[in-house]
Amino acid sequence: MKKICIKVMALLLLGSMTLNSCIVGSYSLMNKYCDWQMNMTGNKIVNGVVGIILGSIAVPVTSLVDGLVLNTIEFWTGDNPIANVGKTQKILGTDGRFYAVTTLKNGYELKSPTGEISYFLHDANTDTWSLQQNGKTIELFRFNSDGTLTTLALEGEQITVTPNEAGLYQVRMAASDGNFFTMR
């Protein structure tokens, strides 16, 4: 009787640790499987039947791989190896047109409605974000080792600011040359 009680308590303790809403990680592999399973055909009934058949194998495997491998990598490195790479979203721009934004491993690809392609790329070695457009690359900002940011101002000048409201204000003032008013 005592052995059964200890086993039950151990299972309850394990369950409370795994089901306590303190999930570290995005479970991206499991989410990708669920998205695929729900949208593989246009028929919800077929999707449901295939989900029942494949679910008993795919759900435990994807959950195990996510929980033990991918989420551990995400916890220690800060990014999940398969999170959103290759995913494309339509984003409404301030000009009222839709842009296609594709997530890359090291940044984003932006495709305008006219077909022009720009890249916002992150260089992990130098911790910089750059804009690549028409064969030209412009460094937009860099994270410095002392916790500051170095960014572009007007006419290609670089300024170093702190990553807070005061730094944001400095960048806005430098980018607009101090003018926040509309001029004719």
What is the Cα–Cα distance from 144 to 29, expressed in whole angstroms? 33
Higher pLDDT, 106 or 80: 106
Chain segment 23-61, per-residue pLDDT in tens? 556 777 777 788 888 887 878 888 788 778 877 777 787
What is the Cα–Cα distance from 1 to 78, expressed in whole angstroms? 46
For the chain, where are the E strands, in sequence order? 88-92, 98-104, 107-111, 117-123, 128-133, 136-143, 149-152, 158-161
Model confidence band, residue 22 (pLDDT cutoffs 50, 70, 90): very low
What is the Cα–Cα distance from 3 to 11, expressed in whole angstroms? 12
**C-beta pairs of 94-100 under 8 Å, 24+ apart in sequence:** none
How much is the pLDDT for 21? 45
Q: What is the pTM of this model?
A: 0.51
Q: Is the pLDDT of residue 104 over 80?
A: yes
What is the Cα–Cα distance from 82 to 157, expressed in whole angstroms? 37
- E strand or H helix at 30, and its extent? helix 28-39
Secondary-structure breakdown of the chain: helix, strand, coil percentages, each rounded to the nearest 5: 40, 25, 35
